[in-house]
Amino acid sequence: MHLIMVGINHETAPVEFREKLAFNHDECTEALAALKKRDYVSECIMLSTCNRTELYVRTSPDAPLDRDAVSEALADYLTECKNVETLNRDLFYVRYDKYAARHLFRVAAGLESMIKGEAQILAQVRDAYSTACKVRSCDFFTHKLMHTAFRAGKRARSETDIGIGAVSVSLAAVELAERIYRKLSEKKALVVGAGEMARLTAEHFMSKGIRSLTVANRTLEKAETLSSELGARAVPFKNLVEEISEADVVITSTAAPYYIINPGIMQVAMKLRRNRQIFLIDIAVPRNIDPKVKRLYNVFAHDIDDLNLIVDRNLERRRAEMPRVERIVRQELESFQNWHSSLGVTPTIKDLVGTIDEIRREEIKKSAKYFDDEQLEHIDALTRSIVKKILHHPITKLRESGNGQSDGTFWADTVRNIFNLRKTPDE
Q: Which residues belong to the active site?
A: 50
Q: Bridge-partner residues for 41, per DSSP?
A: 59
CA pair distance 288, 276, nearest whole angstrom: 22
- Distance CA(55)–CA(264), nearest Å, equals 59
For residue 144, give the H/E element and its range.
Answer: helix 140-159
Amino acid at 268: V
Contact partners, residue 189, CB within 8 Å, separation at least 6: 177, 205, 210, 212, 213, 214, 247, 248, 249, 250, 251
The continuous run of DSSP H or E covering 252 comes out as: strand 249-252
- Reading phi first (left if > 0) and then psi (alpha if -120 to 50, else beta), residue 274 is in left
- Helix 140-159 crosses helix 120-134 at what angle (to 10 degrees)? 160
Sorted by sequence, the CB contacts under 8 Å of residue 325 that are 6+ apart come out as: 109, 110, 111, 117, 156, 160, 162
